Structure 1
């Protein structure tokens, strides 16, 4: 097909095309829905986020460059546009320099499936599984490659390599195959002659990537320098992966994964991070980066590490004993959501200023951010520089960014006024899409045509010295394809004589060709360049077992290694080795390096130790026979408490024996205290754990050093003597306050009904301090006794004067139906309680009981807590919209109004609270967007701020954010701050994400017209 045709006529027809797409979409809901409930939900769902904007008109391709702003030393070129491409999701280049584009036109729903269920985040379930091609329905996704046939630098020929695909996000060429990531599958089409056209039906290499949310499916397929195929998975899908070798590798949400095409092994490379991971970038040192849909730039992924997630929405980590996570790289700069894809520029064609800087695409704000990497121990901090590309065209939605063979930066533009996936209606503009090239201002000449697959081994080795990273990466792919042992002497020579980067490239090429021998491994471990050493460690670690001689070389390196990234990789690789090698390597690193302040190494050390904690307990004890290990800061701050917590949480005879032995061998009371704290953490949320006598004896032995700990443990074992002694202390106003609070908290966890009268008296006693009353109220929530509600509702006027006690009491009443009724009775009949005592966020808690009578009474008592109807919201949005931008606005007064009405929860321009989403990075220039989310705050609950509704097995109702989920317990954090609650999962009958937030819908109703105008003037101000 020849390009650049029908473009003008297409744009005359655009309004008709948009109308047609909408009509087809409306009909499609009936075709998609498997039942009436789903159809009604899809029809009536109010979309959230940046939806289709009928007022934002697209710009014709021939005019679009006029809207862009770029630096004077760069140039921007429109490479491809509709009708040649539509909805491009991935761009890449092959060995001939051809541009491959994955066109994601089937998005958002797979062809041939019906939706049986859909949730408020528009995650869906389907009626059946997809079949791999050629079976099953033919979708609209297409993989196309584009060529420059006459050398003028323009793509003048296109070929649809594979069409009829059904939800396809990635393609990569290699090993004489065309690899296609088409969830739930990773497919391989034979391509022996490497012409880019498949030779028959595909082979399924992987199966099990989830389809619940097709904006978060597996994506970003590409080769790593180690010969594995890498990819990402987004936040709101599941996976249970099977290959010929790997079985049932299950994980939830975002991760970086990899697959080895020769061994057929699939594994998680790193888990979590980046929120909705949709990018995999390798820099010239082989580091893995990805973007984020949050406020920073994304994570630097370490092998085998765990990263931050939105636990409530995205699910727990695969390891319940991870006991921590690494953050994304810290950012110094304006935190504007979101830069979900990035490259580190190493193409040598742009001016030197841009070398090693991050180019991060921001589809929400229609720009590309330039960001620097600053070393921070074994990781990085990011420092924003300038916006390197921006446009006034609101349809500009960059979704992928890649380095090209010419050193230019290629940007795939989805091109749509809509960005948000949170709308089940398929209103996407299916016929648009663009690709741009950002290059030097000087206007470099088109590179000559090439075909790297025809290069000799000598020529491939020469490519490893190319100044453009793209050519070096493609040369590595060719070495992996050929596995020609005759190239090894050439590569060994480069390994011995090359520059630091050339040596690293040679190491990768040798591994791809023949693997890493002990001889090459020794050379790599002793090389002067830290990244050669780092990658030698990683490639050796991937073997998972080293010869004694090779491990000795690794140990020599570990003892003297000066570079933190190498030590970081040593810890990551330690996790993968055999037990004796793991423990020896950990011990070596701890004995010779401090590293306790490094951002990554302490937790990497824990994860290496945890990997062997129960499979080789003797190895753990042998490693800890050395007092020097006990006294290492990482052991004291990170490892020791977690190790004890790990054994206690899993329980069982062998693990309790380990806990006992650790206490026996602890070299000091300081270490005993750390172990006991870990033991206490392991017991949190569990009603009763039967600890063995020998463990209890050693705890009693350390009574002097441990203070109240043995009594707390005895309480958890429900010993009558301990209970009596604890109650005596709790009731004694002269006892140490910390001790009293500690015991009250435990009394709320052990389910001993006889303590209820004493806890009630603490609340009702006018001499009790507010903190004692508050803690007792929290403890009483655990007891399902009718007299609690009866007594406290009548006593309420006597302790309501303290706001924290008052809120604790109201939270108690809202946790059980009978107690709520007692509270309502005191409000409505004798009127001893004022309805004004109950703020909006507390009033709405009664609705969590999901009881019709409760709701009716709550509506009567607090009418403003009742949710607005759709009609009421629309009326308010229209009315407030008339006030925005009219007359004179006072931004200074608007700031004051923001701080008094919104600032307790939200932060803007560095001011305000943190219990709600930070607002600075949002698109605040759109008044309709702001109004929707202020009048209807439940329309789009930001990831990380979801509230869970939990019903315990005895009928108690709790709510809060899911803070952690590990080892059979969950920790719930109150949405607006306060004391967390730890629950055993055995005590949870139901847990679901709430569809409402704490933010009141009527927050603007008490403001005057002028105040609303001033508030929005401040909100919409962009600094």
Structure 2
């Protein structure tokens, strides 16, 4: 925060009254005033402002500010004629530009306001970032400017540049109440005047919390010096200043990334409001279309999702509690409004009641309007989606998926809900799990937005300590209501809020970015998160995916954004609209029309027009769906302000909302929509209905009823289309879905789907028959034949998708056949899916993969077809090489050598060598097998390390020059240093020590210190000891590790500790344990004196500390941005979080960081339980070195140890004298020691944040 302390214009009286001032000591003012009025007699006694109220009555035309100036300058006369003299004096002061500032006080404060007058004005000036003062007609940043207050103990008025922007009774300490800054009030590059006027009990409680100015992503906490003026300053004098005032100034440099906790405000800014009739009058539609208002407030409000039951009734989720969950408190947040709360809200019926509603709407007389509306479930808390089916009402009530039983289908719950799933993320309530939709396969599908993280469990089925299914950021998921199985369907995508199945069962969602209408999700697909990597949404879950897929491309430019879209396949619109996308664009008040164009197994799109535009700034379409009557229904959130940050700021109208209908002008609508009343044969007949809703609802009802008489009918429909000349997949596709959902799809009829002439039926046959995780024996030969001959890219894509669920004996032959056929090298999905299959088995069944690729004992490798196909070379072999190089594991490096050796020609060898060099560049290569160096050399590899390994003096000289060249990359120089470590040469040692002491990059310095530990030169210890005190903390840790590595060096270091040159506190517990392990009596004696064995904290002591930390975290908010620095200093060198950090300890990203019950014990008592794979290992070498760390790789030749400083050391097994495991964790005790209470809150605010806040 930038502030300027004003100069004092008077001397504070030494009485107990802080508002007494003596005469001004500024002789220049006295002189100039005297000259202007010809009078020089001044009062010499102190004046108490509070005892001079008569002045405000006797000088009504003199400004309050001028009067107070006179008081502060000591120029007020006590005589009854003093008002005249005062007027003259004040006039002179004003005309001479000598108007003084107010009394300086600290905000927040209690003591300084203890004896303030009953009426006061607090004033400060702020210059804001230019983005907050935009003159554009619509601008997110300037429309999001706010002031917030809390902890105000009395009636107040709030002014900005003389404009009143708020006021009211006293405010509690929390939450902050926010007041919108009207557009145009803030002035650009000016010092804007913020004033608070209080009357009453301000003296009793002081101002407990500093006001804050908020932008959309940043904020300024106005904590510091303010000006206090007695009385109420006239608004006309609370103006912005073009020049910097003398005091109480805050500038744009003080704005920081937002982190102040927010909560629901009582000062909602509802924005512009129009009646539904007014909005409709502003609507225009495309040719042949008409639009109606079906529902409006008060029948619906804040609709985010709707669906239809089998009786044709409309179910609406009214998300009125958004954006703040009821009953829980925000502890911290980041600038993207992702929050950490104090607790997990309980599930209904034991929940904190909120404002959300599930309503049902009926057309009882068939006239096309909903004449009966009922609120079926009220008082919900974060309920954004609802769908009926399978005997009840399914509600997405984040963090839970609920099931309300309704076996008789009357639309009224017959009991309390069952919590079916738990653990969906709640940290950003505009990105919560959403979009409930019945899939054609009988699963219930949903989406998860980009800024939440889930750890989903099945209450009653999964154990209490189950880790759940973890996923960070956007994905699509599904739940089987019969098998009660939950799984992730596809990873990545946009900030999905709604899903759409087309009539052939393809899954789509919208996107909240530009350049696309949305995403096409295939089973087991892996997509970029928000089209960015890693951005603010975290890295891909699989670091070896190598090429996540993007959204559907468009032939035309698309402005942000298409929130959701429906593929129209109904009967209520003209035929020209069949198959078109109807996309909801809430930013432009439109429903956009687009066409799809096949591209391999997916699509591109092109916009064709605007289906609906309502030129009312409250029209915000968010959900679109084909209706039972054959029309299109549209949910309108109905808000002037649509950005979620503005909603968090309180710019929202929770009582507004509409449902519109788009229909064909003059066209009839479907009236026969009560499918629940149909018998089974009628439902089978409806599988041929031209309206998609009729067909797909009939499928679901047939499956739920499981009327055995319908099975032969369905099989007949599936079989009949095999001889039909029609290109339509219907009703064969629906009959296949119904057979599967009813549990009747098996080899006896499944072959019909695999041999069907319509490709999408074959694709669904593959998917449904393989969804169990294995193709049954009678089906497997048919699938093998299909993959060898299939002409359809969509079917081949589904084979690759399904292969990710199959055992290796089925999956690998399928993807290898697809690869050899080489028909899909340019397909949007298939190449990546094939690679993901191979990659998954490289992790779990490596030998099986190698066998399928032809790496038998004779080492022949892949056959010619694999090397010559683009898919084989680009999607499998190159990525296999890239992955093997990236892991650095010796077994994978040996695979690199086998790939190089088996390449049939120079072109393939050089291509693979290039991939491998890119993967190896910057890595520790001391453990690379000699065979791989030879293979690289024979392939024309250009790695400088080859020459060093071959002991080429010229290569060594060049490497010594390169490690000192700071223009080269850090990783490249570090790698050269690691290679040079094996050279026992004084020149090499000197160069490495020079780098350790003075290189500008810490990583290079650490690599150099680790490298010299391999040398036996006795001068190394003296040089390292000499530089130790000047090294940065992270480099110093590596220096200490180096000194401890040899007994002679360790003894010299211990002597420095005894003499006080080195602080004993700098030696971590793992280093001390290594010192204890040395056999020499002298070392043992010194270690015992310096580091007596400490008593571990007892369990009761740790529990007391845990309770204390819990209390501290709940008292006040934390700042994750401040906490990031604390985390980086204490944890990042060992632990990876999101896409940054070391790899000594476990990756914390999927760890249950939100759960203090598991987090705090592991931090306070790290050795109580050490996770497998992270046990500390102590190694003594034959040349006298001592090393400790985590074994990260080993084989029959070498062991690779990663020390606590993150540096890897490769030791040949013949060098090892002793290897043993320690019971002491590498993670030191006392990690939280030394942190203040606020630092603890900041540290945990960052540690518990669900997604990255910085790149």
Task: Compute the TM-score of the two structures, normalised by the length of structure 1.
Answer: 0.69
Query: Would you say 1:178 and 2:393 are equivalent positions?
Result: yes
Q: CA deviation at 1:44?
A: 4.2
Aligned to 1:252: 472
Displacement of 1:697 after TM fit?
A: 1.8
The Cα of 1:605 is off from its aligned counterpart by: 0.9
Change (3 A) 1:188 1:395: same
Superposed displacement of residue 341, structure 1: 0.4
Q: Distance in 1 between matches of 2:319 and 2:687?
A: 34
Partner of 1:128 in structure 2? 343
Aligned to 2:683: 460
1:690 to 895, 913, 927: 927
1:558 aligned residue: 787
Instruction: Kindly provide the CA deviation profile for residues 638-681 of structure 1, in whole angstroms up to 9, marking residues without a partner as x.
Output: 22132233334445454445444444444344444444444444
Cα separation, 2, equivalents of 1:161 and 1:817:
62
What pairs up with 1:559-958 in 2 under 5 angstroms?
A: 559-625=788-854, 626-652=863-889, 654-684=891-921, 686-687=923-924, 690-691=927-928, 695-709=929-943, 711-712=944-945, 721=951, 725-728=955-958, 746-747=975-976, 782-783=1004-1005
Provide Cα deviations, 1:294-334, integer angstroms capped at 9, x if missing partner. 11111111111111124231112222321220010111223
Say whether the 8 Å CA contact 2:400–2:423 is kept in structure 1: yes
Secondary structure class of the residue paired with 2:840: helix
- How far the C-alpha of 1:391 sits from its partner, in A, is 2.3
1:997 deviates by 11
Q: Distance in 1 between matches of 2:808 and 2:892?
A: 17
C-alpha displacement of 1:782:
3.9
Give the superposition deviation at 1:704. 2.9
Aligned counterpart for 1:219 among listed residues 431, 434, 439:
434
1:433 partnered with 2:664: no
1:278 lines up with 2:512 in the alignment: no
Asked whether the equivalents of residues 552 and 604 of structure 2 are also in contact (C-alpha less than 8 Å), the reply is: yes
Contact 1:253 1:272 in 2 (8 A): yes
Q: Distance in 2 between matches of 1:97 and 1:358?
A: 23
CA distance in 1, matches of 2:905, 2:917: 19
Deviation of residue 84 (structure 1)? 1.2
Aligned equivalent of 2:508, options 289, 299, 311: 289
CA-to-aligned-CA distance 1:386-443 (integer Å, 9 cap, x gap)? 1222222111111111110111111111111111112433331111101100111114
Instruction: Say whether 1:209 aligns with 2:446.
Output: no
* TM-superposition CA deviations, 1:946-970 (whole Å, max 9, x none): x9999699999xxxx9799999999
Match of 1:404 among 627, 630, 645: 627
Deviations 1:481-538 (CA, angstroms, capped at 9, x unpaired): 1222321101011112245221111111111112421122211111110000010011
What runs of 5+ residues in structure 2 fail to find an aligned partner?
1-157, 159-164, 178-204, 219-264, 722-727, 855-862, 1009-1030, 1036-1120, 1148-1201, 1208-1226, 1228-1242
Cα RMSD (Å): 4.4
Find the counterpart in structure 2 of residue 319 from structure 1: 542
How much has 1:141 moved relative to structure 2?
A: 0.7
Counterpart-to-counterpart distance in 2, 1:952 and 1:266:
39
Q: Structure 2 matches for 1:14-33, cutoff 5 A?
A: 30=174
1:232 to 447, 455, 467: 447
Contact map agreement 2:441 2:740 (CA 8 A) in 1: yes
- Contact residue 42 and residue 425 of structure 1 kept, 8 A: no
1:80 aligned counterpart, secondary structure: strand
Q: 1:996 to 1:506 in 2, by over 3 A?
A: closer
Q: Which residue of 2 aligns with 1:300?
A: 520
Q: Could you say which structure has the higher helix fraction?
A: 1
- Counterpart of 2:574? 351
- Secondary structure of 2:527's aligned partner: coil
* Cα distance in 2, alignment partners of residues 138 and 704 from structure 1: 72
Contact conserved, 1:480 with 1:512, CA < 8 A, in 2?
yes
CA contact (8 A) 2:921 2:972 kept: no
What are the equivalent positions in structure 2 for 1:50-129 lying under 5 Å apart?
57-129=272-344
Instruction: Identify the range of structure 1 (674-683 vs 375-384) with the bigger mean alpha-carbon deviation.
Output: 674-683
Q: Is the 8 A contact 1:26 1:425 kept in 2?
A: no
- Give the direction of change, closer, same or farther, for the CA distance of 1:748–1:92 in structure 2 (3 Å limit): farther
Q: Distance in 2 between matches of 1:721 and 1:340?
A: 62
Distance 1:93 1:952, change over 3 A: same
- Report if aligned partners of 2:511, 2:563 keep a CA contact under 8 Å in 1: yes
8 Å CA contact 1:683, 1:689 repeated in 2:
no
Computing the radius of gyration from Cα coordinates, the structure with the larger value is 2
Where 2:423 maps in the other structure, the secondary structure is strand
Q: Is the Cα contact below 8 Å between 2:824 and 2:871 reproduced in 1?
A: yes
Distance across 2 between alignment mates of 1:25 and 1:522: 75
The structure-2 alpha-carbon separation of the partners of 1:281 and 1:614, relative to structure 1 and needing over 3 Å to count, comes to same
For the residue of structure 2 that corresponds to 1:250, the secondary structure is strand
Contact 1:730 1:743 in 2 (8 A): no
- Alpha-carbon distance in 1 for matches of 2:917, 2:1143: 15
Cα contact 1:245–1:265 (8 A) shared by 2: no
Which of 750, 754, 766 is residue 537 of structure 1 equivalent to? 766
Conservation of the 8 A alpha-carbon contact between 2:301 and 2:318: yes
- Map of 2:373 onto structure 1: 158
Which segment is superposed worse, 298-307 or 584-593? Answer: 584-593
Does 1:546 pair with 2:775? yes
Q: 1:507 to 1:739 in 2, by over 3 A?
A: same
Distance 2:842 2:805 in 1: 13
Give the 3 Å change call, closer, same or farther, for CA 699–368 of structure 1 in structure 2: same
* Aligned ranges 1:523-534 → 2 under 5 Å: 523-534=752-763
* 1:560–1:449 distance in 2 versus 1, CA, 3 Å: closer
C-alpha deviation, 1:241, in angstroms: 0.8
Task: Name the SS of the counterpart of 2:536 in structure 1.
Answer: helix
Q: 1:45 aligns with which of 195, 198, 214?
A: 214
Query: For residues 953 and 474 of structure 2, what CA distance do their matches in structure 1 show?
Result: 46
Flag the 1:27–1:164 CA change in 2: closer, same or farther, 3 A. farther
Q: Which residue matches 1:265?
A: 485
CA shift digits 1:830-871 (9 cap, x unpaired):
xxxxxxxxxxxxxxxxxxxxxxxxxxxxxxxxxxxxxxxxxx
- Give the secondary structure class of the aligned counterpart of 1:359: strand
Do the aligned partners of residues 133 and 392 (structure 1) sit closer, same or farther apart at CA in structure 2, a change above 3 Å counting? same
> By how many angstroms is 1:739 displaced?
12
Measure how far apart 1:632 and its partner are: 2.1
Q: Does 110-119 or 739-748 show the bigger shift?
A: 739-748
SS across alignment from 1:389: strand
Q: 2:456, 2:580 → 1: CA distance? A: 35
2:690 matches 1:471: no
Structure 1 residues 488-497 or 422-431, which shifts more?
422-431
| Structure 1 position 700, deviation (Å) | 1.2
